[in-house]
């Protein structure tokens, strides 16, 4: 009955957002890191009223196939109410209202039974205000992207546009790709392994502080209330 919004956004995904958007901490100590993260969470503009309709999408998966396997719709699953409104997918556009991130949208998406299982962060760079390609056959340039893959294929990619060899002016996207498994010759540990290990040795950096938990629920409180009364 929880749904994708409450299950994933306030804790897992907003923690990733805060790590990406925070200012540089004075050290890698647990409280120094979390002080900067909570500043980001408190700066997220909560959504209310019409803003929810313009910035949030929810849905449920329907009958389909994955890797050739026939899968039921969510409402046809065992122990699920056929009229359930519990969302299995949610997408949001959030704004972090501070000096660094003013005007920069943050898009969050999570769901079950999507086309592929992936956890990643995509940083899309702004297009330059002026480009010398404006009078060439290249009509537009795709923005460069920094892609941080967290699971299951841990690594980092830099995606950018380059000229295709030859006499014609033709551009194409290419990836500079780094995979942890290829470089270090071993598969990374799971997130739970790391958390259990940190818990045993008293390392609190990856654990959320009470003020972070409270700040993480503020951006979605209005969404929950609106959906409960819809």
3-state secondary structure 52-108: HHHHEEEECCCCEEECCEEECCHHHCCCCCCCCCCCCEEEEEEEECCCCCCCCEEEE
Choice among 12, 48, 63, 229 that is catalytic = 12
User: What is the C-alpha to C-alpha distance for residues 124 and 78, in angstroms, rounded to an integer?
Assistant: 40
Q: Is 12 a catalytic residue?
A: yes
φ and ψ of 18, to 5 deg: -65, -35
User: What is the C-alpha to C-alpha distance for residues 73 and 61, in angstroms, rounded to an integer?
Assistant: 6
Cβ burial of 223 (10 Å; 0-12, 13-18, 19+) is: buried
User: What is the C-alpha to C-alpha distance for residues 160 and 144, in angstroms, rounded to an integer?
Assistant: 5
Active site residues: 12
């Amino acid at each position: 009955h929880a749904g994708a919004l409450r299950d994933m956004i306030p804790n897992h995904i907003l923690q990733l957002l805060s790590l990406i958007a925070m200012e540089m901490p004075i050290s890698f100590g647990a409280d120094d890191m979390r002080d900067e993260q909570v500043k980001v969470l408190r700066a997220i503009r909560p959504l209310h009223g019409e803003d929810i309709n313009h910035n949030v999408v929810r849905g449920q998966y329907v009958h389909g196939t994955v890797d050739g396997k026939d899968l039921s719709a969510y409402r046809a699953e065992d122990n699920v109410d056929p009229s359930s409104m519990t969302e299995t997918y949610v997408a949001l556009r959030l704004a972090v209202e501070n000096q660094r991130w003013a005007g920069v949208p943050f898009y969050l998406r999570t769901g079950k039974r999507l086309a592929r299982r992936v956890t990643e962060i995509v940083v899309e760079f702004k297009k330059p205000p002026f480009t010398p390609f404006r009078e060439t056959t290249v009509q537009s340039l795709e923005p460069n992207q920094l892609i941080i893959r967290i699971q299951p294929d841990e690594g980092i990619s830099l995606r950018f546009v380059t000229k295709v060899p030859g006499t014609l002016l033709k551009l194409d996207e290419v990836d500079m790709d780094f995979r942890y498994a290829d470089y270090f010759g071993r598969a990374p540990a799971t997130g739970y392994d790391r958390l259990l290990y940190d818990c045993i040795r008293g390392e609190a950096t990856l654990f959320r502080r009470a003020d972070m938990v409270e700040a993480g629920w503020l951006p979605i409180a209005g969404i929950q209330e609106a959906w409960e009364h819809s």
